[in-house]
Amino acid sequence: MADPFTLIRLIDFETTGAPTEEERHAVCEVGFCDVVQSGGRWTVGDVTSMLVNPRRPVDIEARAVHHITDVELEAAPDVTIGFRALMEGMDPSCMAFAAHNADFERQFFGGGDMAWICTLKAAYRIFPDAPRHSNQVLRYFLGIDLDEALAMPPHRAGPDAYVTAHLLVRILETGIDPAELVRWSNGPALLPKVNFGKHKGCRWKDVPTDYLEWIAFKSDMDRDVKANAKHWLKQRGVRA
């Protein structure tokens, strides 16, 4: 299958907090970095970032992560300006958006008809031996050499987009079809290890079949956990 993508725009948001049913929250910083295919190679382009006015205060816990203050945001342009910048020049026929834990970014920005790639879900599958799968842990686990002036500080939209853009290139260099990454990204996260119960810490691929069947068909686990169990049952030829 031919690779349909010539550009993947890696985006990252800093927000006023984590959205819940009670508190929707909003974006307060937009960052993006293009990953471009040329001559069969993927390369990382320039980084763009901007503060945007969320029209609401930043929660204390969120501020403790990114250190963006309400005072800084007062004179920033409206968040719609940042979203328009993300859409500029994007063509659904040959381009896509990407983010590390894209499900989070997509709560704030749908991206129209663009396909999405989640580098977190991809990393779970491609780099299962990583100690953790945050973009910074993967950066050091994979030995990705970066310009520190662009990669720091963490938990700001520009640097995080830059780091994850290089992670995306490393993922693409494995030869995986970007269309397959899109398919993975639209499904549940397949975690390398079980994070609960009597098999906590065990690789999903090593979990006994009877326990996988209990999770998949008899437990009240959430959808993603059941999907992990069904995936590994399918790998063993067990009808799920």
Question: Domains of the chain: which residue ranges?
Answer: 7-185, 188-240
Inter-residue contact 21 to 30 (CB < 8 Å): no
Q: Where are the beta strands (DSSP E) in the chain?
A: 7-15, 27-38, 41-51, 95-99, 115-118
**Which amino acid, one-letter code, is at 78?**
D
The pLDDT value recorded for residue 175 is 95
Q: Phi, psi at residue 207, to the nearest 5°?
A: -70, 135
Q: Give domain 7-185's CATH architecture.
A: 2-Layer Sandwich (3.30)
What is the C-alpha to C-alpha distance for residues 7 and 14, in angstroms, rounded to an integer? 23
Q: Phi, psi at residue 27, to the nearest 5°?
A: -80, 135
Buried b (16+ CB within 10 A) or exposed e, 47-71: bbbbbbbbeeebeeebbeebebeee
Buried b (16+ CB within 10 A) or exposed e, 121-137: bbbbbbbeebeebbbbe
Q: Counting beta carbons within 10 angstroms of the beta carbon of residue 168, is it exposed (0 to 12), middle (13 to 18) or buried (19 or more)?
A: buried
State whether residue 164 is helix, strand or coil.
Answer: helix
What is the C-alpha to C-alpha distance for residues 144 and 123, in angstroms, rounded to an integer? 14
The pLDDT value recorded for residue 3 is 52
Buried b (16+ CB within 10 A) or exposed e, 201-217: eeebeebeeebbbebbe
The torsion of the CA quartet 48, 54, 60, 64, rounded to 10 degrees, works out to 0
In the 8-state DSSP scheme, what is residue 207? S
Q: β-strands 27-38, 115-118: how paired? A: unpaired
The pLDDT value recorded for residue 240 is 63
Give the chain's end-to-end CA distance (angstroms, integer). 28
What residue ranges of the chain have pLDDT lower than 50?
1-2
